[in-house]
Amino acid sequence: MNELFGTLSDGTAVHRWTLERAGVRVRVLTYGGIVQSLEVPDRDGAAGNVVLGFAELDGYPAHSGPYFGALVGRYANRIAGGRFTLDGLTYALPQNDGSNCLHGGARGFDQRVWDVEPVEHGVRLSRVAGHGEEGFPGRLEVSATYTLDAHGALRIAYEAVTDAPTVVNPTNHSYFNLAGAGAGNAGGQELRIAASRFTPVDADLIPTGVESVEGTRFDFREARKVGAGHDHNFVLDKGVTPAPVEVAELHDPASGRVLTVSTTEPGLQLYTADHLEEPFAPCDGVALETQHFPDSPNRPEFPSTVLRPGEVFRSETVYAFSVR
């Protein structure tokens, strides 16, 4: 179902698409590719929305900083100093996170209205990010296809091509609370991540290297309460894969809801939303951002995020739901 959701301050219309299959209902906005709501049943069969968001369009531009449910890019996460060098050329980016460029800059993918077309069991959002948009090189043709599979899993498949060398690293920035949006602190929910290493960070949240999770608070190889105080990238044991592989599980014992995350990506950013403000509170949701590592354009030892003309960038992440 497609409906007018509202208009932006410049008069641009924003539409909402509703997808339903196998007891799951997801609503996606053309503004920012935002997952506005995601309703799944609990162990008693009662449906509840498990992502944080707003009932009205105005809430999103008014609270753009937390990136509620948004498709973020061209480069998700942080690029140190707001600059990187590619093929001998240095590119300056907006410094919208202290001295860093965060989630694509001051006006990234999350604040753009995307073109949309229906596909089987979903929608395909697309846009062209021009050469120099937010400082990034290359005219980038990018799409994100949202579908519900036969089991009600939400699949997000990204594709991009460029006419000049660039860097690409999109993700979805939904905050999950399996007890239900508005249920309060999600820190008591149980998380497992298939990662034996993580990237520790400096005071500016830029990686300083790669270390083992053994004996640290970053060891989620066995499920435990997620708690607070996390905004870190986990180095997934499976690395980059051609098809999605299961990498994480979030479980709410009270409702019985289980979220399983599978991805092609090599990293997962765990953000426990310690800094959320009104109308939400700190730790009201947990972001599980599948992506490449922070600051990869400046770190040749990390998996590459470079896309060149003639290549096709592809990644896919699957959010599957069950109960126990």
> Is 31 one of the annotated binding-site residues?
no
Q: Which residue out of 159, 249, 289, 316 is catalytically annotated?
A: 289
Three-state SS for 29-94 is ECECCCEEEEEEECCCCCEEECECCCCCCCHHHHCCCCCCCCEECCECCEEHHHEEEECCEEEECC
Active site residue 211: no
> Is 78 one of the annotated binding-site residues?
yes
> Is 49 one of the annotated binding-site residues?
no
Active site residue 289: yes
pLDDT in tens, 96-149: 999 999 999 999 999 999 999 999 999 999 999 999 999 999 999 999 999 999
d(CA 262, CA 47): 23
Please tell me the pTM assigned to this model. Answer: 0.97
The whole domain housing 310 covers 2-323
Q: Which residue out of 133, 159, 173, 249 is catalytically annotated?
A: 173
> Is 296 one of the annotated binding-site residues?
no
pLDDT in tens, 11-51: 999 999 999 999 999 999 999 999 999 999 999 999 999 99
Q: State which amino acid sits at residue 59.
A: G
Domain with residue 243: its CATH number is: 2.70.98.10
Q: Per the structure, how many domains does the chain have? A: 1
